[in-house]
Amino acid sequence: MSKIVVFGASGQLGSCLKKVAAERYFSDIAFPEESASNILDLPSLEKLYDTEKPQFVINCAAYTAVDKAEEDIETARKINKEGAANLAKLCQLYNSALIHVSTDFVFKGDRPKLLSEDDETDPISVYGQTKLEGELAIAEVTDKYFIIRTSWLYSEYGNNFVKTMQRLGRERDELKVIVDQVGTPTYAIDLADAILNIAFSGNDAYGTYHYSNEGAISWYDFAKSIFEVSEIDTKVIPIPTSEYITKARRPAYSVLDKTKIKETFKIEVPYWKDSLISCIHKLNALTNNS
């Protein structure tokens, strides 16, 4: 039996949870293989819940290919809504608390204001819509949930903006990056730490929370900082969203208000630049050791 079971354990956030759990010597956490933890496979899920009888379930599994979701609506909805609902139903059955990771994409993001948990949701993409449907599906079947919305995740693991910029920066002399979409990068290690703090806090203030790093920047600012910290000499050219057409629309301004999570769980949130420096130092160490 494990106190915590993590779904989506092989993804970016799942990998960060493994790392943080190991660093903090948390041993009673299970990271089951994908074959045994498919959130769309109810019989397998039931077997896993019955074996582990978890106090907490952390759901990092999601369909996150934002542009692809515009055409692959059925798959996105199955994973982001039905998968989340499956976990919530079993959490209700086994009296487990569900910690579910959601996104700033549930908001329209068309006004320059901090977004609180109580602000009206109005997604403008299939990804955002299906993630919102997942949130609503969870709330329909269980009261014991923590939904944590986050934004602009990156880390040493998986595919993300930081690693993509480093790669492209080493290949090209200049890059065009969007300047009129503003949000906050989130180091997935910091988010993993916050999630485990909630699970081990003993505080059952269930509900929806926001977590990202502190500060607000554009993708252009973020790219420039990545190159600066990485010591990559690439020129960054700011462009408007209208010059970079994608299948899915993105929120223009999605800076999350983190007051609630900080006050409820006494969580200290690092500033985005400090976390970026930490991540890039780790990426450099990995590169040098390989």
Active site includes 271?
no
Pairwise CA distance, residues 217 & 185, whole Å? 8
Q: How far apart are CA 107 and CA 4, in angstroms?
A: 30
Provide the sign of the torsion angle of the four alpha carbons 57, 269, 164, 237, taken in this order. positive
Q: Are 138 and 86 in contact (CB under 8 A)?
A: no
Write the CB contacts of 6 (distance below 8 Å, at least 6 apart in sequence).
14, 17, 18, 29, 30, 31, 32, 57, 58, 60
Active-site position among 49, 127, 154, 211: 127
Distance CA 134, CA 128 (A): 10
Q: Alpha-carbon torsion 13, 15, 21, 26, what sign?
A: positive
Indicate which residues carry an active-site annotation: 127
